[in-house]
């Protein structure tokens, strides 16, 4: 028996040897590909070395990042903050008031136990057990019932305080979570211009808007008139000891009658401008402007070794310059007396308060910061609000600053000239391309008309060298 085993082993080992030496002759065709994936000893050693090098580089980049922020901003808080940033964000979701009540109730039941997010005015939920929310179901009209989002992001829409009939510009809108949150505050008389320069991200934005907002023309029966399932009884949890949103709470929401029409959503226009392009949206135009600016995105950065390896303080500086250009244009687009909310998901003050202070100091018209306060997060020296995951219930980072544009008149010839703020990236070709790319959800004709006008305006501004309106 032993000798049989030994012989078998010998045969196996000899076959293995043959296989390794002359695999393509010995192995059946199907197995050749498999063999090709077996790394040689040398290759696996090299891979091991490479992995070790990469791990070392990541550790070094993490250290550079942590030391930078420890020195610049957070001091001894930094290790705890890094630990919180490296964890998944606390799960968050809000219910879409344009979907049918019964689908929202079913969603909450399926996701029990969920807790109402304290201090967030939209019906939004989190889970203490850290489990993610399950997929949002379409109602009988095909409208999805819940959107998954970091609850801190909802505070940006809340700070904007949209009124039902307002015209709102979301300058950097894709993939659309905040536009959708804003839409919850608006009625049929309101409008959102949701803009994003990236074609692929704009496609996601268009998908989100059409999946969550019923068509204005072809609304089918099924939604509820008031549109807030939570009003029926899901309790608001106090900060320290949240009350779970139980199945009973969810069931206490008003039952769907099926006789109501879904609420009419606001008009949505989706545009593709480079929002640093002065005048692209028209000056003094919108009641509210949200600028959720591209930023360092530090929570994602810490989880992406490739990006982290490229990180350095220079990146913060470059972001801050672009953010200032965008904020100047956001303030230009707001009507006198209108509100602008500036937000980022960056840690650095340089991308947050400092950007606001820098733009305010050089604006050719008055604007003021309106101090913010929410149930979670912390105030910043300028009156902004910063949600950081170590103290912000696991949400964030999210920085928010609310500004109101002054109503006093500005002499013609000065308005719109921000060359003293930051060089404005103004390219007529970009404007024309953006006009071509403009797609509309709900108002095609208005969209192309408006966008062309803006493109022409941008062209004029460009021809005059980034000049005046
Ligand atoms: C932080 S993300 C916006 C997230 C979005 N507000 C949301 O809640 O889903 C920033 C967006 O800005 C866009 N962006 C970057 N530079 C831009 C520019 N110059 N003009 C317009 N959009 C820009 C990016 O494509 C990106 O989608």
Terminal-to-terminal C-alpha distance of the chain? 97
- Per the listing, tokens 């608001």 go with 236
In which band, very low, low, confident or very high, does the pLDDT at 16 lie, cut at 50, 70 and 90?
A: very low
Q: State the Cα–Cα distance between residues 255 and 268, nearest whole angstrom.
A: 29
Q: Which of 103, 183, 98, 185 is nearest to 136 (CA)?
A: 103
The whole-number average pLDDT for the span 203-209 is 96
Strand-strand pairing, 167-170 and 385-387: unpaired
Q: State the Cα–Cα distance between residues 399 and 31, nearest whole angstrom.
A: 55
Residue of 89, 155, 169, 173 with the most ligand 1 atoms within 8 Å of its CB, for mutation: 173
Residue 385 has pLDDT above 80, yes or no: yes
Residue 37 has pLDDT above 70, yes or no: no
What atom of ligand 1 comes closest to residue 176's alpha carbon? 9
Q: State the Cα–Cα distance between residues 189 and 19, nearest whole angstrom.
A: 74
The whole-number average pLDDT for the span 312-326 is 96
12: Cα within 13 Å, side-chain hemisphere: 6
Residue of 172, 199, 341 with the most ligand 1 atoms within 8 Å of its CB, for mutation: 172
181: CATH: 3.40.50.150
Asked whether residue 212 is assigned to any structural domain, the reply reads yes
Give the 3-state DSSP-derived string for 154-223, with helices as H, strands as E and coil as C.
Answer: HHHHHHHCCCCCCEEEECCCCCCHHHHHHHCCCCCCCEEEEECCCHHHHHHHHHHHHHHCCCCCCCCECC
Nearest CA to ligand 1 atom 1: 294
Asked whether residue 43 is assigned to any structural domain, the reply reads no
Asked whether residue 242 is assigned to any structural domain, the reply reads no
- The answer to whether the bond into 113 is cis (omega within 30° of 0) is yes
Whole-angstrom CA distances from 457 to 94, 274, 329, 409 are 38, 14, 14, 21
Residue 9 has pLDDT above 70, yes or no: no
What atom of ligand 1 comes closest to residue 153's alpha carbon? 8
Q: Is the CB of 275 under 6 A from ligand 1?
A: yes
Q: Where are the beta strands (DSSP E) in 256-316?
A: 267-271, 286-292
139 C-beta neighbours (distance < 10 Å), count: 25
Nearest CA to ligand 1 atom 25: 198
Nearest CA to ligand 1 atom 27: 174
Number of helices (H), then strands (E), belonging to the chain: the values are 16, 15
In which band, very low, low, confident or very high, does the pLDDT at 231 lie, cut at 50, 70 and 90?
A: very low
* Residue 297 Cα to ligand 1 middle (Å): 12
The per-residue pLDDT for 42 is: 86
Whole-angstrom CA distances from 70 to 315, 346, 446 are 17, 15, 50
Asked whether residue 296 is assigned to any structural domain, the reply reads yes
The per-residue pLDDT for 57 is: 87
Nearest CA to ligand 1 atom 10: 294
Note the pLDDT tens digit of each residue in 58-98: 899 999 999 999 999 999 999 999 999 999 999 999 999 99
The whole-number average pLDDT for the span 395-415 is 78
Backbone angles phi, psi at 95, to 5 degrees: -85, 140
Share above pLDDT 70 across residues of the chain, in percent, rounded to a whole number: 69
In which band, very low, low, confident or very high, does the pLDDT at 435 lie, cut at 50, 70 and 90?
A: very low
* Residue 291 Cα to ligand 1 middle (Å): 8
The whole-number average pLDDT for the span 191-214 is 96
What atom of ligand 1 comes closest to residue 156's alpha carbon? 8
Q: Is the CB of 150 under 6 A from ligand 1?
A: no
Read off the pTM: 0.75
Asked whether residue 201 is assigned to any structural domain, the reply reads yes
The per-residue pLDDT for 100 is: 93
Note the pLDDT tens digit of each residue in 440-455: 333 332 333 333 333 3
Q: Is the CB of 274 under 6 A from ligand 1?
A: yes
Q: Is the CB of 177 under 6 A from ligand 1?
A: yes
Asked whether residue 356 is assigned to any structural domain, the reply reads yes
- Per the listing, tokens 């808007």 go with 209
Total tally of structural domains belonging to the chain: 1
Structural domain boundaries enclosing 390: 152-226+258-428
What atom of ligand 1 comes closest to residue 205's alpha carbon? 9
The per-residue pLDDT for 177 is: 98
Give the residue, 421 or 379, on which the prediction is more confident: 379
Asked whether residue 168 is assigned to any structural domain, the reply reads yes
Give the residue, 425 or 102, on which the prediction is more confident: 102
* Residue 274 Cα to ligand 1 middle (Å): 10
* Residue 174 Cα to ligand 1 middle (Å): 6
Q: Is the CB of 272 under 6 A from ligand 1?
A: no
Note the pLDDT tens digit of each residue in 123-159: 999 998 889 998 899 998 899 999 999 999 999 999 9
Asked whether residue 53 is assigned to any structural domain, the reply reads no
Helix H or strand E segment including 170: strand 167-170
Residue of 170, 196, 290 with the most ligand 1 atoms within 8 Å of its CB, for mutation: 196
In which band, very low, low, confident or very high, does the pLDDT at 235 lie, cut at 50, 70 and 90?
A: very low
Q: State the Cα–Cα distance between residues 343 and 106, nearest whole angstrom.
A: 33
Give the residue, 443 or 163, on which the prediction is more confident: 163
Q: Is the CB of 196 under 6 A from ligand 1?
A: yes
Q: Is the CB of 178 under 6 A from ligand 1?
A: yes
Q: State the Cα–Cα distance between residues 422 and 320, nearest whole angstrom.
A: 10
Whole-angstrom CA distances from 436 to 171, 397, 426 are 18, 35, 17
In which band, very low, low, confident or very high, does the pLDDT at 118 lie, cut at 50, 70 and 90?
A: very high
What atom of ligand 1 comes closest to residue 178's alpha carbon? 8
């Amino acid at each position: 028996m032993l000798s049989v085993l030994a012989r078998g082993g010998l045969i196996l080992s000899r076959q293995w040897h043959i296989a390794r030496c002359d695999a393509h002759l010995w192995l059946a065709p199907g197995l050749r590909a498999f063999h090709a994936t077996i790394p040689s000893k040398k290759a696996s050693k090299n891979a091991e070395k490479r992995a070790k090098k990469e791990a070392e580089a990541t550790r070094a980049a993490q250290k550079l990042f942590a030391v930078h922020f420890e020195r610049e901003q957070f001091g001894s808080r930094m290790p705890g903050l890094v630990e919180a940033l490296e964890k998944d964000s606390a799960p968050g979701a809000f219910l879409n008031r344009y979907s049918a009540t019964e689908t929202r109730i079913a969603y909450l039941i399926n996701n029990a136990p969920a807790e109402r997010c304290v201090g967030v005015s939209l019906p939004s939920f989190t889970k203490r057990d850290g489990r993610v929310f399950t997929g949002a179901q379409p109602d009988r009209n095909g409208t999805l019932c819940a959107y998954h989002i970091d609850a801190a992001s909802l505070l940006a829409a809340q700070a904007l305080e949209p009124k039902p009939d307002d015209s709102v510009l979301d300058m950097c809108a894709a993939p659309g979570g905040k536009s959708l949150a804003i839409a919850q505050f608006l009625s049929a008389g309101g409008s959102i211009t949701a803009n994003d320069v990236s074609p692929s991200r704009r496609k996601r934005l268009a998908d989100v808007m059409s999946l969550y907002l019923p068509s204005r023309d072809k609304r089918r029966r099924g939604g509820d008139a008031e549109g807030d399932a939570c009003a029926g009884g899901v309790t608001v949890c106090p900060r320290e000891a949240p009350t779970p949103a139980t199945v009973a709470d969810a069931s206490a929401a008003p039952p769907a009658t099926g006789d109501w029409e879904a609420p009419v959503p606001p008009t949505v226009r989706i545009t593709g401008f480079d929002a640093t392009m002065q005048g692209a949206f028209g000056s003094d135009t919108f009641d509210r402007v949200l600028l959720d600016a591209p930023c360092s995105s530090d929570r994602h950065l810490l989880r992406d070794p490739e990006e982290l390896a490229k990180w350095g303080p220079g990146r913060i500086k470059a972001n801050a310059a672009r953010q200032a250009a965008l904020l100047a244009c956001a303030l230009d687009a707001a009507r006198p007396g209108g509100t602008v909310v500036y937000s980022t998901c960056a840690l650095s003050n340089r991308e947050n308060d400092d950007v606001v202070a820098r733009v305010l100091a050089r604006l050719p018209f008055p604007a003021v910061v309106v101090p913010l306060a929410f149930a979670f997060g912390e105030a910043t020296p300028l009156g902004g609000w910063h949600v950081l995951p170590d103290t912000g219930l696991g949400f964030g980072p999210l920085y928010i600053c609310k500004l109101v544009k002054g109503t006093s008149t500005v002499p013609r010839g000065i308005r719109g000239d921000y060359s003293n703020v930051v060089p404005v990236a103004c390219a007529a070709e970009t404007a024309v391309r953006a006009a071509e790319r403009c797609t509309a959800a709900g108002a095609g004709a208005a969209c192309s008309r408006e966008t062309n006008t803006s493109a022409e305006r941008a062209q004029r501004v460009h021809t005059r060298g980034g000049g005046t309106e």
